[in-house]
Amino acid sequence: MVHNHEQAQKESRKVKLANRQLQLSIQKVVKSCQDIGTRIASMETRIEELGTEVRAATAQTATQGQQISDIQWKLEDAENRQRRNNLRVLGIAEDLEGQHARAYIVSLFKKAFPDLTVWDWEKEIQRAH
């Protein structure tokens, strides 16, 4: 019986040692899971921050795209006006010319300058608006 009792104590010590090793392993796994949880929370926060930055950059890009389009249109308009010999006629009421602004301006100049017969008003006045 003594032999069985010693054997039982020996087995009990083995079980206790294995139990202690198992507890240490479980503690390591728990610690590792906690570390992973902390890192995931940090990454989620960073992802939210990046999402906010992307939305702001997208909005800014759209605004800048519209500004670029506006500037391009203004530049093209300025270049076109610079290349032509433009003449501004002031004092004419809006919509007085109707649908035919060019024809109205031609007739206006013919009436205003009847002595300038060397001018071909139809040819010289290319646009009116």
What is the arithmetic mean of pLDDT over 25-30? 96
Per-residue pLDDT tens digits for 70-129 = 999 999 888 877 776 777 777 777 776 667 788 888 888 888 888 877 677 777 777 777
Which pLDDT band holds residue 2 (cuts at 50, 70, 90)? low
In this structure, are 66 and 106 located in the same domain?
no
In this structure, are 91 and 117 located in the same domain?
yes
Q: In angstroms, rounded to a whole number, what is the distance separating the alpha carbons of residues 79 and 76?
A: 5
Domain count, the chain: 2
Picking from 96, 105, 101, the residue whose alpha carbon sits closest to that of residue 124 is 105
Average pLDDT, the chain: 87
Q: Which residue has the tokens 């035919």?
A: 100
In this structure, are 53 and 110 located in the same domain?
no
The 3-state DSSP composition of the chain as helix, strand, coil percent (nearest 5) reads 75, 0, 25
In this structure, are 123 and 63 located in the same domain?
no
Predicted TM-score of the model (pTM): 0.45
DSSP state of 118: T
- Would the pLDDT of 57 be above 90? yes
User: Could you list the residue range(s) of the whole structural domain that residue 30 is in?
Assistant: 1-83
In this structure, are 2 and 48 located in the same domain?
yes
Half-sphere CA count of 113, side-chain side, radius 13 A: 9
